[in-house]
């Protein structure tokens, strides 16, 4: 007897239709799986057999052929376990889905089987639920741990199940699975654990630069001695960024679903914050692997990627950041396929001025030679450094400010100014278009400076030999400063402030 169930194969952030066909025929008991299945799918044979027996079902002593069609699409993932097991039950006559709930027979289903028949969570539940809805399915059966994730999708009934036996009873019409209701997610839930800007004492210029970076989604580099608050400032950036829109929340949720990470709530409105260790590989940073998965730059989509101790990262890891910083996406090319992952992230980095960290410190002497300092700084290439819109030196905090009881301005107040500046950008440039992503032609229209500003820019170009990219980035920062101040035009004062955020790197 032949059983056929609908499933899907994940391809990047999307899914492609796959039919799971299970056929029982005469012959010696054996199992054949065809259809370009990867190791995780092929290993389902042992999981399915044990799950059936431990759920008090009979394992058919026939020649079993499982075909994953079409055969020229690679299939990977343990979520094929459940449709394969159900296909065996239907083909062997142990379950008759026509006796179940009216409508589709059977529904779309995914899940990894434990040996005792329990349904373990699997990655990719959200894009698979989106695929099922697009294919016209009214319901989806999946593990309980994936229910909140799939409930994000409107227009499809989510039926969480504990084990294979519960699925079989539902299909046979004996005991219906209970529909899962989407958990109510509060936009403020995640923000409660984000450190507040009020913890930062002093550092007015660095705080101002962080606010500008948040308002215009600019890339920011902090440089200064150890312990002055560079990492502390960066960790507080998510607390002043605008909350994600509905579309942005769904895009981020798909990335985390494919990655199999469940430490972020589905449809969380807080922008993602990623801070990989400096030992991370280029594949971990940019994405890839034999089965390409999103990297840190994609997991930071619509959020922040923070690189602490920037020169300690391997040169190759840093250089792969250049393309997604410009394009907003990552193209992973392999011999068999090419995948594109979104990567519109805001890069924030921190570094010391020298290997010992105390070059230019007012009270501590630097122990590094000139050659060591140059070698340390040249770990960051000029093209990558040029992509930072703001480069700010963070000096040691004055001891009176540090020991004083006065707290800094809270994140809520800064976030209000940032949100107002973003709204001015969206009203002027279009919904979702921030200043950091303005094209040269848009800069000419929206950020053309007045006579005084143009004169300052001309002098800076001549003195510091700025590149065309630096010129455009200075204009973008000046436009953001004007938006924070509520000004329609970019003036000389805005350009002057933007110029001072180029940092000492332009001089050395």
Asked whether residue 182 is assigned to any structural domain, the reply reads no
* Rounded CA separation 259/274 (Å): 14
Asked whether residue 212 is assigned to any structural domain, the reply reads yes
Residue 355 sits in the same domain as residue 444: no
Residue 487 sits in the same domain as residue 376: no
List b or e across 445-474, with b for residues whose CB sees 16 or more CB atoms inside 10 angstroms.
ebbebeeebeebbeebeeeeebeeebbbbb
Residue 428 sits in the same domain as residue 442: no
Q: State phi, psi for 177 to the nearest 5 degrees.
A: -70, 145
pLDDT at 106: 79
C-beta separation of 195 from 187 below 8 A: no
Q: Which of 395, 380, 421 is nearest to 218 (CA)?
A: 421
- Residue % of the chain over a pLDDT of 90: 77
Residue 413 sits in the same domain as residue 492: no
Asked whether residue 402 is assigned to any structural domain, the reply reads yes
429 is in which domain, residue-wise? 190-434
pLDDT at 3: 93
Residue 129 sits in the same domain as residue 220: no
Residue 392 sits in the same domain as residue 421: yes
Asked whether residue 258 is assigned to any structural domain, the reply reads yes
Residue 501, domain CATH: 1.10.8
What mean pLDDT is predicted for residues 337-342?
88
pLDDT per position as a tens digit, 206-230: 999 999 999 999 999 999 999 999 9
**Pairing relation of β-strands 157-161 and 139-143?**
parallel
Asked whether residue 177 is assigned to any structural domain, the reply reads no
What do you get for the CA distance between the two ends of the chain, in Å?
Answer: 76
Beta bridge partners of 66: 22, 33
| Domain termination residue (choose one: 141, 171, 201) | 171
pLDDT per position as a tens digit, 456-492: 999 998 888 888 889 999 999 999 999 999 999 999 9
Q: Which of 129, 192, 115 is nearest to 158 (CA)?
A: 129
pLDDT per position as a tens digit, 62-74: 999 999 999 989 8
- Residue 170 has a CB neighbour count (10 Å cut-off) of 24
Residue 396 sits in the same domain as residue 445: no
Residue 197 sits in the same domain as residue 104: no
- DSSP alpha helices (H): ranges in 268-388? 282-286, 296-299, 315-319, 322-327, 370-377, 382-385
pTM higher than 0.95, yes or no? no
Asked whether residue 185 is assigned to any structural domain, the reply reads no
Higher-pLDDT residue of 152, 337: 152
Residue 253, domain CATH: 3.40.50.300
- DSSP string for residues in 1-61: -EEEEEEEEEETTEEEEEEEEEEEESSSSEEEEESSB-HHHHTHHHHHHHHHHHTTPPPP-
Using the predicted structure, report yes or no on whether residue 506 has a pLDDT greater than 60: no
What confidence tier does 190 reach under pLDDT thresholds 50, 70, 90?
very low
Higher-pLDDT residue of 266, 438: 438
pLDDT at 325: 93
Residue 248 sits in the same domain as residue 314: yes
- DSSP string for residues in 395-444: PPPPHHHHHSS-----HHHHHHHHHHHHHHHHHHH-TT--GGG--HHHHH
* Rounded CA separation 21/66 (Å): 6
pLDDT at 105: 63
Using the predicted structure, report yes or no on whether residue 187 has a pLDDT greater than 70: no
Using the predicted structure, report yes or no on whether residue 341 has a pLDDT greater than 70: yes
Q: State phi, psi for 34 to the nearest 5 degrees.
A: -125, 160
| Residues across the chain | 508
How many structural domains comprise the chain? 3
pLDDT at 97: 78
What mean pLDDT is predicted for residues 113-126?
95
Using the predicted structure, report yes or no on whether residue 98 has a pLDDT greater than 90: no
What mean pLDDT is predicted for residues 390-411?
82
Asked whether residue 54 is assigned to any structural domain, the reply reads yes
pLDDT at 400: 72
Which segments of 26-170 are extended strands (E)? Answer: 30-34, 63-69, 108-109, 112-113, 119-120, 139-143, 157-161
Rounded alpha-carbon distances, angstroms, from residue 216 to 242, 243, 321, 425, 480: 11, 14, 20, 8, 6
Residue 107 sits in the same domain as residue 234: no
Q: Write out the H or E segment, with its range, that includes residue 86.
A: helix 81-91
pLDDT per position as a tens digit, 18-55: 999 999 999 899 999 999 999 999 999 999 999 999 99
pLDDT at 220: 97
Using the predicted structure, report yes or no on whether residue 60 has a pLDDT greater than 80: yes
pLDDT at 290: 77
pLDDT at 99: 61
C-beta separation of 310 from 318 below 8 A: yes
Asked whether residue 181 is assigned to any structural domain, the reply reads no
| Domain termination residue (choose one: 434, 452, 476) | 434
What mean pLDDT is predicted for residues 181-198?
62
pLDDT at 150: 92
C-beta separation of 498 from 474 below 8 A: yes
Rounded alpha-carbon distances, angstroms, from residue 31 to 12, 59, 301, 378: 30, 11, 43, 58
Residue 134, domain CATH: 3.30.230.10
Residue 427 sits in the same domain as residue 464: no
Residue-averaged pLDDT of the chain: 90
What mean pLDDT is predicted for residues 306-330?
94
What mean pLDDT is predicted for residues 432-443?
93
What mean pLDDT is predicted for residues 273-280?
95
| Domain termination residue (choose one: 115, 137, 171) | 171
pLDDT at 101: 53
Residue 446 sits in the same domain as residue 346: no
Query: What DSSP character marks residue 490?
Result: B
pLDDT at 255: 95
Three-class secondary structure of residue 163 per DSSP: strand
Using the predicted structure, report yes or no on whether residue 353 has a pLDDT greater than 70: yes
């Amino acid at each position: 007897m032949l059983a056929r169930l609908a499933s899907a194969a994940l391809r990047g952030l999307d899914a492609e239709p796959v039919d799971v066909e299970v056929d029982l025929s005469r012959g010696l008991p054996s199992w054949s799986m065809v259809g370009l299945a990867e190791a995780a799918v092929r290993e389902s044979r042992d999981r399915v057999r044990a799950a059936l027996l431990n759920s008090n079902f009979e394992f058919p002593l026939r020649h079993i052929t499982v075909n994953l069609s079409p055969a020229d699409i690679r299939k990977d993932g343990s979520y094929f376990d459940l449709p394969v097991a159900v296909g065996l039950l239907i083909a062997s006559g142990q379950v008759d889905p026509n006796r179940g709930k009216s409508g589709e027979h059977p529904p779309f289903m995914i899940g990894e089987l434990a040996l005792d028949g329990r349904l373990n969570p699997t990655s990719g539940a959200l894009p698979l639920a989106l695929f099922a809805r697009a294919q016209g399915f009214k319901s989806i059966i999946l593990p309980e741990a994936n229910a909140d994730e799939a409930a994000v999708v409107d227009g499809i009934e989510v039926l969480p199940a504990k084990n294979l036996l519960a699925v079989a009873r539902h299909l046979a019409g004996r005991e219906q699975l209970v529909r899962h209701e989407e958990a109510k997610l509060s936009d403020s839930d995640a923000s409660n654990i984000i450190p507040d800007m009020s913890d930062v004492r002093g550092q007015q210029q660095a705080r101002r630069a962080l606010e500008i970076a948040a308002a215009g989604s600019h890339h920011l580099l902090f440089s200064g001695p150890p312990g002055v608050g560079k990492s502390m400032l960066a960790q507080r950036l998510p607390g002043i960024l605008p909350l994600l829109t509905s579309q942005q929340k769904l895009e981020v949720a798909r990335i985390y679903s494919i990655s199999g990470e469940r430490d972020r709530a589905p449809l969380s409105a807080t922008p993602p914050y990623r801070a990989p260790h400096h030992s991370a590989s280029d594949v971990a940073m940019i994405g890839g692997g034999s089965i390409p998965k999103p990297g840190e730059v994609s997991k930071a989509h619509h959020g922040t990627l923070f690189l602490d101790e920037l020169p300690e990262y391997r040169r190759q890891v840093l250089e792969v950041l250049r393309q997604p910083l410009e394009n907003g996406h990552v193209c992973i090319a392999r011999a068999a396929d090419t995948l594109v992952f979104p990567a519109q992230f805001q890069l924030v980095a921190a570094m010391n001025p020298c290997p010992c960290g105390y070059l230019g410190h007012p009270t501590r002497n630097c122990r590094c030679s000139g050659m060591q300092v140059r070698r340390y700084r040249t770990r960051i290439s000029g093209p990558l450094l040029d992509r930072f819109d703001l480069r700010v030196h963070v000096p040691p905090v004055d001891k009176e400010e540090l020991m004083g009881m006065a707290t800094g301005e809270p994140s809520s107040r800064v976030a209000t100014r940032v949100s107002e500046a973003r709204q001015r950008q969206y009203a002027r440039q279009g919904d979702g278009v921030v200043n950091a992503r303005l094209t040269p032609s848009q800069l000419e229209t929206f950020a053309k400076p007045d006579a005084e500003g143009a004169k300052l820019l001309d002098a800076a170009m001549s003195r510091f030999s700025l590149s065309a990219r630096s010129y455009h980035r200075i204009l973008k920062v000046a436009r953001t400063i004007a938006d924070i101040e509520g000004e329609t035009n970019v003036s000389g004062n805005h350009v002057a402030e933007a110029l001072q955020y180029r940092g000492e790197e332009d001089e050395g």
